[in-house]
């Protein structure tokens, strides 16, 4: 047992003395949270706070996993795996303590005196008793809960499972709850539970004065259990938890591994009283209508249930339909799968609930139809609503009747067979600069003549939003430009109407006489009716001319896209060219650069997030600038980025990316980059082990892809060296060196780099333990010979000053030795098995090690 009691006792005397003098508020029902709880012991070399995060709290050890849970009984919990390798701990029997204390004395308070019995709540004495003892089994997982009662004796439990404890991911209540009828609750876990785990639903009907835990029978990852039926008005609250304890009746929180409690609010319901009934319903509106086939025709209906309807939310259990028939009969006789369609809740209307539905949804034939509403509450009967000018009511066929809908064939389109936006598809101009935009239209047998088709009117319009042109307001008349094949072509000087910088979208519009409008869109293959996908609006960039001298060219150099986690690095480069100025060895005076970003893929001139860029280097005749954009973005999402430049306080210009080198941003050829920022992945602790088979190394360091190939010192224990790293899931190459003072050290891995894989559940595969037989013996004295090597029977040594030697196998066992060797020596290997051996050679006070191979 570690000798720490005198320090603890002395600290306790000082603590009591300070209480007497100052009334220290540390006497409380809980331990001091900033000091937290630790579990030092033989399993971690009695380091306190422990290096292993599963034994340390996060307040004193970064990344500590022994955490406080304040829901219910305050407790501290840690969950860890045990295995011979690749787990948090290795199986065995260990002495250990619960401790809590300041950095000046981490052992100031301890809880001890227990030999752990698994799945048993045991009492630990405060500041007395021998070290605790526990036996851990490889291949198991352990959940520890420690009851936080402050600086007094307390209780704790270790719960053992054969796999990682499952997480509860869902707890669902049914929508229909009735008086004195059991309520079936569903519980789901992220994976099937281990044999030792039990899933419980704990519920109360008296605000947790009393409660019951029901075990949930699980099939795979899902299970269901019934809460008994209760009288109307009973308020039931529940949550789900996992444990290894059978049928707990007390100390539920201390027996809990994981729980799901609706974010702290628990899952609850109040048992409703006897069902109400619908006492009034109607067909609210309209009384009648006429549409073309396949058009929408919404009708509205209302229903009333005393004390239930008319609330902000839909009355639970109240359902509504709209129905249609070809005969004007009682709606209760209307049948067929397409007769009644679900109606959607609109909102309260006075004391009623109002619903709406498209009654023409499944009508495929013109004709006269009759429509009404239908309602049902819970499992009650259907009731039907009729219309009247005074408000309607239950359908009776006289005062409250069905509505009438006339559906006609769609009118034949006598207008345009085809229209387009001819060209250009995009352009860049200065404010007010001329820009002719062309569009064409085709009417079979009419267009394509020397004069314009009679009755045809054409416009070119624009908007600052890339939306459907039928909602735009800026339209300018077009003039006939002549026939093009069978089409009539029109043009408008659109540029003269746009006098402000920005990005604009433009399209064409046509009408024959007083008929409907048709809108034309652009495509490289000739365009057609605007649809926003194949046939789209043109894009116009309006920007002022640059002062002389000015920036002749700018771009977003690279990358065009990327993906990082929050806080990750993401270097963005951009270039600019000013004739006769850029491309020198230093930055061009007066040339400023920024990289900006936005959550919207819009013109960068409207963005507000800009980060000053640093001059990177000349690139040909350009100046190149760079910004590490990653740390600027602190939330996950999709972002768009571009460059911005200004020379001598002049106008801003914006750079866009393209695979051919980019240029001024125009939203089509030169566009914004796209950056995807993801939430950080969960990390898992992985222990790497190097076993020194030579027993000669004293400064082993780990390096690999997980350290960016930087070296990190490993922790020695005799000739076994370990290092635990918190890693993201992935596959990593790694190795180790002996730090001998040289720049690269001595590489201790023979053959290819070692490879290990960590999956998203924290499971390790590949190599994390390696035995090295690489030595770093200095060169033998000048003139030394060891031959032949490999040797079949005899090995000759010719070593000036040789005084002794030993031959060892790869496990370090001495096979042969001669403490009085001569400078010329022959060693008989004939009786040895083939393989690798180590030859330790002593010359004076110096020791050398060489590899020898026996054939």
What's this model's pTM, rounded to 2 decimal places? 0.38
Could you tell me if 424 and 519 lie in one domain?
Answer: yes
Could you tell me if 580 and 666 lie in one domain?
Answer: yes
Question: What CATH number does the domain containing 499 carry?
Answer: 2.60.40
From 228, 244, 270, give the residue that closes a domain: 270
Residue 275 has pLDDT above 80, yes or no: no
Does any domain span residue 68? yes
Could you tell me if 148 and 185 lie in one domain?
Answer: no
pLDDT at 8: 34
Does any domain span residue 548? no
Which residues constitute the domain of residue 502? 418-538
Biggest CA pair distance of the chain:
129
pLDDT at 808: 84
Could you tell me if 765 and 708 lie in one domain?
Answer: yes
Does any domain span residue 833? yes
Does any domain span residue 544? no
What's the token pair of residue 651? 């106008």
**Which element (helix H / strand E) includes 5?**
helix 5-22
CA angle 508, 513, 514 (to 5 degrees): 90
Could you tell me if 291 and 425 lie in one domain?
Answer: no
At 777, the pLDDT band (50, 70, 90 cuts) reads low
Pairing of strands 591-598, 538-542: unpaired
Mean pLDDT is lowest, of 447-461, 623-637, 813-827, for 813-827
At 7, the pLDDT band (50, 70, 90 cuts) reads very low
What's the token pair of residue 313? 């939310």
Residue 143 has pLDDT above 90, yes or no: yes
pLDDT at 483: 96
Domain count, the chain: 7
pLDDT in tens, 661-692: 999 999 999 999 999 999 888 899 999 999 98
Could you tell me if 120 and 246 lie in one domain?
Answer: no
pLDDT at 632: 95
Does any domain span residue 846? yes
Could you tell me if 633 and 726 lie in one domain?
Answer: no
Q: Mean of the per-residue pLDDT values for the chain?
A: 91
What CA dihedral angle connects 643, 646, 650 and 651, to 10 degrees?
0
From 350, 378, 408, give the residue that closes a domain: 408
Q: Determine contact, residues 227/236, Cβ cutoff 8 Å.
A: yes
Does any domain span residue 780? no
Does any domain span residue 370? yes
Could you tell me if 649 and 741 lie in one domain?
Answer: no
Residue 145 has pLDDT above 90, yes or no: yes
From 716, 743, 772, give the residue that closes a domain: 772
pLDDT in tens, 8-46: 333 333 333 333 333 333 445 899 999 999 999 999 999
Could you tell me if 121 and 221 lie in one domain?
Answer: no
Could you tell me if 534 and 565 lie in one domain?
Answer: no
pLDDT at 778: 64
Q: Determine contact, residues 728/739, Cβ cutoff 8 Å.
A: no
Does any domain span residue 777? no
- Report the alpha-carbon distance of residue 647 to residue 578 in Å, rounded: 9
Could you tell me if 665 and 735 lie in one domain?
Answer: no
At 755, the pLDDT band (50, 70, 90 cuts) reads very high
The residue among 609, 620, 616, 618 whose CA lies nearest residue 642 is 609
At 563, the pLDDT band (50, 70, 90 cuts) reads very high
Question: What CATH number does the domain containing 822 carry?
Answer: 2.60.40.3080
Rg (CA), the chain: 41
At 298, the pLDDT band (50, 70, 90 cuts) reads very high
Question: What CATH number does the domain containing 694 carry?
Answer: 2.60.40.10
pLDDT at 845: 74
At 121, the pLDDT band (50, 70, 90 cuts) reads very high
pLDDT in tens, 501-541: 999 999 999 999 988 999 999 999 999 999 999 999 999 99
Could you tell me if 238 and 311 lie in one domain?
Answer: no
Q: How many C-beta atoms lie closer than 10 Å to residue 266's C-beta?
A: 17
Report the share of the chain in percent with pLDDT over 90.
78
């Amino acid at each position: 047992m570690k000798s720490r009691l005198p320090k603890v006792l002395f600290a306790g005397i000082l603590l009591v003395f300070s209480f007497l003098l100052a009334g220290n508020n540390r006497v409380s029902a809980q331990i001091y949270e900033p000091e937290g709880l630790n579990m030092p012991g033989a399993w971690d070399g009695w380091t306190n706070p422990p290096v292993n995060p599963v034994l340390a709290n996060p307040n004193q050890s970064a990344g500590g996993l022994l955490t406080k849970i304040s829901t219910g009984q305050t407790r501290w919990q840690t969950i860890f795996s045990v295995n011979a390798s690749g787990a948090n701990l290795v199986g065995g029997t260990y002495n250990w303590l619960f401790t809590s204390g300041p950095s000046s004395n981490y052992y100031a308070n301890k809880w001890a005196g227990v030999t752990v019995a698994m799945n048993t709540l045991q009492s630990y004495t405060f500041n007395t008793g021998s070290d605790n003892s526990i036996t851990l089994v490889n291949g198991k997982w352990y959940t520890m809960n420690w009851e936080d009662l402050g600086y007094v004796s307390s209780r704790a439990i270790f719960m053992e499972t054969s796999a990682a404890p499952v997480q509860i991911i869902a707890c669902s209540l049914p929508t229909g709850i009735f008086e004195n009828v059991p309520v079936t609750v569903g519980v789901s876990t992220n994976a099937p539970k281990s044999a030792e785990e039990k899933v419980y639903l704990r519920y109360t009907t008296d605000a947790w004065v009393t409660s019951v835990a029901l075990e949930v029978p699980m099939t795979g990852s899902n299970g269901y259990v019934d809460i008994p039926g209760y009288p109307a008005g009973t308020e039931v609250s529940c949550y789900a938890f996992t444990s290894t304890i059978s049928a707990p009746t007390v100390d539920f929180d201390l027996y809990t591994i994981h729980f799901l409690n609706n974010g702290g609010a628990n899952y609850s319901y109040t048992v409703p009283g006897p069902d109400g009934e619908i006492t009034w319903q109607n067909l609210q509106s309209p009384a009648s209508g006429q549409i073309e086939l396949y058009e929408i025709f919404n009708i509205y209906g209302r229903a009333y249930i005393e004390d239930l309807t008319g609330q902000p939310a839909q009355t639970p259990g109240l359902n509504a339909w709209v129905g249609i028939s070809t005969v004007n009969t009682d709606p209760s006789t209307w049948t067929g799968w397409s007769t009644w369609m679900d109606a959607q809740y609109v909102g309260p209307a006075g004391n009623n609930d109002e619903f709406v539905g498209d009654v023409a949804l499944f009508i495929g034939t013109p004709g006269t139809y009759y429509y009404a509403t239908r309602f049902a509450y819970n499992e009650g009967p259907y009731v039907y609503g009729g219309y009247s000018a005074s408000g309607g009511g239950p359908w009776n066929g006289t005062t409250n009747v069905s509505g009438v809908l006339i559906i006609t064939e769609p009118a034949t389109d006598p207008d345009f067979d085809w229209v387009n936006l001819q060209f250009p598809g995009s352009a860049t101009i200065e404010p007010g600069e001329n820009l002719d935009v062309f569009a064409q239209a085709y009417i079979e047998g009419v267009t394509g003549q020397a004069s314009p088709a009679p009755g045809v009117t054409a416009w070119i319009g624009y908007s600052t939003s890339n939306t459907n042109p039928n909602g735009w307001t800026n339209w300018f008349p077009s003039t006939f430009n002549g026939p093009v094949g069978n089409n009539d072509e029109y043009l408008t000087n659109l540029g003269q109407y746009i006098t402000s910088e920005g990005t604009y979208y433009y399209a064409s519009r046509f009408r024959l006489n007083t008929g409907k409008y048709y809108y034309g869109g652009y495509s490289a293959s000739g365009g057609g009716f605007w649809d926003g996908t194949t046939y789209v609006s043109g894009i116009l960039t309006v920007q002022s001319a640059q002062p002389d001298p000015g920036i002749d060219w700018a771009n977003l150099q690279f990358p065009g896209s990327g993906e990082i986690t929050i806080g990750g690095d993401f270097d963005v480069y951009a270039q600019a060219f000013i004739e006769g100025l850029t491309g020198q060895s230093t930055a061009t005076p007066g040339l400023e650069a920024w990289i900006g970003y936005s959550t919207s893929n819009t013109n960068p001139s409207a963005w507000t997030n800009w980060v000053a860029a640093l001059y990177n280097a000349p690139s040909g005749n350009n100046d190149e600038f760079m910004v590490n954009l990653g740390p600027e973005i602190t939330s996950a999402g999709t972002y768009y980025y571009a460059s911005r430049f200004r020379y001598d306080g002049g106008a801003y210009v914006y750079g866009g990316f393209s695979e051919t080198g980019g240029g001024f941003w125009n939203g089509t050829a030169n566009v914004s980059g796209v950056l995807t920022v993801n939430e950080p992945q969960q990390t898992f602790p992985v222990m790497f082990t190097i076993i020194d088979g030579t027993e000669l190394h004293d400064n082993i360091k780990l390096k690999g892809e997980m350290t960016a190939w930087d070296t990190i010192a490993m922790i020695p224990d005799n000739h076994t060296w370990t290092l635990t790293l918190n890693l993201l899931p992935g596959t990593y190459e790694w190795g180790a060196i002996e730090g001998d003072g040289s720049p690269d050290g001595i590489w201790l891995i023979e053959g290819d780099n070692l490879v290990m894989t960590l999956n998203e559940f924290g499971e390790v595969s590949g190599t994390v333990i390696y035995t090295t037989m690489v030595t770093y013996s200095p060169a033998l004295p000048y003139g030394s010979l060891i031959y032949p090597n490999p040797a079949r029977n005899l090995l000759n040594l010719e070593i000036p000053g040789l005084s002794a030697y030993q031959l060892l196998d790869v496990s370090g066992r001495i096979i042969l030795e001669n403490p009085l060797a001569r400078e010329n020596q022959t060693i008989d290997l004939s009786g040895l098995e083939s393989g690798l051996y180590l030859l330790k050679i002593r010359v004076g006070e110096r020791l050398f090690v060489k590899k020898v191979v026996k054939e």
